[in-house]
Amino acid sequence: MVLADDAIHYWYGGQGPQTVLFIHGFGADALWQWHPQLRGLAPHYRVLAPDLLWFGESRSQTPDYSIEHQARAMIKLLDHLHIEQAHVVGLSYGGMVAHELLGLAPDRVGRVVLVSSPARAFMKQDQEPLMHRYGVGSMEELLLPDEPADVKRLMALAYADPPKVPRFIRHQIVETFYDPQRDHLLRLLQRIEEDTGSQRARYQAPGHPTLILWGLDDQIFPALAAQRLTGELGGRAQLCVLDEAGHAPHLEHPSAFNKLTLAFLRDGHVDCEVAAAIPWRKP
């Protein structure tokens, strides 16, 4: 789908009167990151999973790498599909886009689920211990793999129990998801700190019911960032932290994640331990 200068690739299906917009994180594409959730929620909701600009098959003719540009692209997509309002689930970088969407068009958003995403509470210093541990000077070195060994390291960062992926598949991941858009992805990463800082100044805490889901063993964004975000969002935000999960709790524990998300979207709040039936924590 081409909307002005943006070409947005998306998957839209499922059933139900309400739509859930899934906004993926940095790297790969929407179906790669959200496939267990699309399958799990499709019997209950219309589920919409776009590739963000310069990820997957989405592109833009406009050299604007801001989070705001990504959020405006999501608004264009909702307009194109005649969706007046959608619940939003945002993962990591996608959670930052979700928060920007809240600021730009709060009436277009219902309930919000932020997954492993500090949103506007992001602070660069949260990632300094991680960079020191791996001996790198920037997060780009960790998040933009050049070769199969880098993919293995990235998966060790994202998962508490990393899956074993053969070398040839890791090579294909680099060739498919990173090499074609490497320059664009680098520019996107370089904008994050600036954009989250502007979000902090521009927006008050939204009043939307918000569920914050986090892995206790998240190395990319530590649990401290989750607690900071919960405090900034105020009384309508609820935090659940999952043991034995890293930066991708939705992939490490998809069944529990889907139960939590469905319960929250239905009721606006959730009992983490009852809904998930696994050891979620309430710090």
**In a domain? residue 135:** no
pLDDT tens by residue, 81-103 = 999 999 999 999 999 999 999 99
**In a domain? residue 84:** yes
The string of DSSP codes covering 50-102 is EPPTTSTT-EESS----HHHHHHHHHHHHHHTT-S-EEEEEETHHHHHHHHHH
Predicted pLDDT of residue 281 = 46
What is the distance between the alpha carbons of residues 278 and 215, in angstroms, rounded to a whole number? 13
For the chain, what is the domain count? 1
**In a domain? residue 262:** yes
Predicted pLDDT of residue 277 = 45
**In a domain? residue 37:** yes
Q: Which stretches of the chain drop beneath a pLDDT of 50? A: 201, 275-283
Dihedral (CA of 23, 233, 260, 159) sign: positive
**In a domain? residue 250:** yes
Predicted pLDDT of residue 203 = 52
What is the distance between the alpha carbons of residues 140 and 145, in angstroms, rounded to a whole number? 8
**In a domain? residue 147:** no
What is the distance between the alpha carbons of residues 229 and 206, in angstroms, rounded to a whole number? 12
**In a domain? residue 137:** no
Q: What CATH number should be reported for the domain holding residue 202?
A: 3.40.50.1820
**In a domain? residue 90:** yes
Predicted pLDDT of residue 282 = 43
Residue 276 structural domain = 2-126+193-281
What is the distance between the alpha carbons of residues 53 and 225, in angstroms, rounded to a whole number? 26
The string of DSSP codes covering 166-224 is -HHHHHHHIIIIIGGGHHHHHHHHHHHHHHHHHHHHH-PPP-S-EEEEEETT-SSS-HH
Residue 8 DSSP one-character state: -
